[in-house]
Chain A
Amino acid sequence: MKLNGAQILLESLKQEEVDTIFGFPGGSVIGLYHELSNYSFHHYLVRHEQGGVHAADGYARASGKPGVVFVTSGPGATNTVTGIATAFMDSVPLVIFTGQVPTPLIGNDAFQEVDIVGISRPCTKHNYLVKDIKDLAKVVKEAFYISRSGRPGPVLVDLPKDVLAAEYEFSYPKKAHLRSYNPNYDPNTKQVRKAVELITKAQRPLIFAGGGVVTSNAHEELTWLARELQIPVTTSMMGLGSFPGNDDLWLGMLGMHGTYAANMAVYHTDLMISVGVRFDDRATGKLETFAPEAKLIHIDIDPTSIRKNVNVDIPIVADCRRALQALRKELTSTLQQENLAENFASWRGRVKGWSEEYPLSYKPSENSIKPQEVVEKLYELTKGEAIITTEVGQNQMWAAQHYLYHKPRTWISSGGLGTMGYGFPAAIGAQIAYPDSLVVDIAGDGSIQMNIQEMATAVCYGLPVKIIVLNNTYLGMVRQWQDLFYDKNYCATCMEKRPDFVKLAEAYGAEGYFVDNPKDIDAVLKKALESKNTVIVDVAVEKEENVYPMVPAGAGLNQMLLV
């Protein structure tokens, strides 16, 4: 049977088992939306395309399934770029369908025309312009395959209006055939053997896990490795949740705002087992003094991650999960002869000493609310069971430090790109993926205003997302840098005219609470978390509180400012 392009696309999505779409219509995709009404997809109408992509991203990170987005041509397409770049940096599977002007008009500066394939080229894993209806089903198949497989990422498909209207016989390919793209999943056994050799010789091993462990669902294997050998674990910010944050071996996150123990362990380790990381500058600090005494094992599915920033002794290009499984298999016979965990006992003692010497801390106050205490309280009340999303800046760092993530995919934050305005729409997506879970966006007063329009989306679909605004009336992280490194010149970081977030919440039909007394924080948070509605809690926190520890940009991880 012949179908039109819009129907072919929607039938293809069914074949890919897509049930949720985030979108915003417009001239070039009216035909697509016309057909959409005949299908049973859950389509979430967002209020801005950027919010739509972040929501799809949050959905994808929480569920592990690719997020799907529909937008129109021109501004609809350009508005997706920040969202796409965010997903690209953090390896999130998304498939974005953009409308395009009809093929005969392409290149003529037509109304709402933009070369989105050109614009999105450097921030997508791959992208397509479908010029012929014959290619549509094949392109959709390839787009989903590329997006999900290997190191996942966003794929954009540009759909001219006439292609969506043209008719063609629908047949969906069973497999995507790409001669030039064959991600490697299985580790090289020789390399695994060499890695085991290094582990048996090590005195001071450290596990450094990243987002790749979460993406490849390798948390159980990682946890086994750490517990069986009793090796302390740190993660990058993206790796939070890949190892239980309430385990004795957990050191906290490393890097610019990492814990003293984690950063000291990096400085003194003699074997770093790094899994699913890419050695970003915020994680490593000055490269010359990053793990200076260590041999490095690096497991990652993306060959470009290896030796990009640091030299590696044993590279293993593979899926993290399969590599860790192979490592486990290879270790089993060694473990029957030798108690490796015992070898590392004195090292564990040293690491524990660092944890006790300088744990994460702050000075509580009777007069003002400390942002850290809000996050700690939230952890207490939710027992670490909530899905936490964050905005970007101080709020994000406090959320990373003071909430303990027990499970993967409960920490959802823009790591690589550092996108303000990410957390709230991402929370919407996560809530849609898990309607029965408690989803909380830990926000700042700056970031939350970047995608505040999605309040309408949350309320419209009855999504009980909770937004906790750590409100210091500053762009806090920039102000912190100005405080520490730019002579306290608070240029353009002061946001004194605070909106009334309670009224704002109410205007959107949500619930709003304001709290500025430390004594009330417990009760207000409880009330908010128990609510069945979308809630904003505006917390007036200590204005000039800084995030510590801090490794100044360009310094080594052992050169932390502690207070």
Chain B
Amino acid sequence: MRRTLSVLVENEPAVLSRVAGLFSGRGFNIESLNVAPTLDRNVSLMTIQTDGDEQIVEQIIKQLRKLITVIKVVDMNEVNCVEREMVLLKVNATEDFRAEILRIVDIFRCKVVDVSPTELCLEATGDSSKLDALIKLLQRFGIKEIARTGVVAMRRGT
């Protein structure tokens, strides 16, 4: 089962390798990983998507907590949360298909961020399944490049 973990860590040089090394060394899976500083520059937030049954996820969370530089781990599947991911896509867009692509852009509420005679560069945000659906729809036109951020998540207000 896919799980999203929010991991607050000390913002210091080796911290990413400690977390990434923990996953690889123990055979845990990373689906996506996103890191950036929080408002406190000394603290970074990592959002990690992982896969595993309950016992494995429990181990992952405990092992993360055991790392000295990890401050807090929240299993976002246990709380009511919003999850979002962003993708940049460069799609083949010759004149024949341009109108259709733009319709899809409209439906998915994407943005066109760059245009050239034969390509469109699109930006889309949403949960992972929405982005997957968008990508699937655009594939028949030919996706030349893709960059996904990985999921970020936030607890909803109470």
Contacts and interface: CB of A to CB of B under 8 A. Distances in A.
A389 to B, nearest CB: 29
A281 to B, nearest CB: 15
Contacts of B66: 302-304
A383 interface: no
A146 interface: yes
Interface residues of B, number: 20
Interface stretch (A16-24, A119-127, A356-364): A119-127
Contacts of B117: none
30 contacts: A117-B14, A118-B14, A121-B14, A121-B17, A121-B18, A121-B21, A122-B21, A122-B22, A125-B68, A126-B68, A126-B69, A129-B13, A129-B14, A178-B68, A179-B71, A180-B68, A180-B69, A180-B70, A180-B71, A180-B72, A181-B68, A302-B66, A303-B65, A303-B66, A304-B59, A304-B62, A304-B63, A307-B55, A307-B59, A308-B59
A118 B17 contact: yes
Contacts of A121: 14, 17-18, 21
Contacts, number: 37
A117 B17 CA distance: 11
Looking at A178, A304, A307, which has the most chain B CB atoms within 10 Å of its CB? A304
A357 B58 CA distance: 42
Contacts of A129: 13-14
Interface in A160-197: 178-181
A331 B62 CA distance: 31
Nearest to A151: B66
B25 interface: yes
Main secondary structure of the interface of B (DSSP, over half): helix
Given A121-B14, A180-B10, A307 B68 contact: no
Contacts of A181: 68
Interface of A: 117-118, 121-122, 125-126, 129, 146, 178-181, 302-304, 307-308
Interface in B17-65: 17-18, 21-22, 25, 55, 58-59, 62-63, 65
Nearest to A181: B68
B109 to A, nearest CB: 39
A532 B69 CA distance: 49
A516 to B, nearest CB: 46
Contacts of A118: 14, 17
A145 to B, nearest CB: 10
Contacts of A117: 14
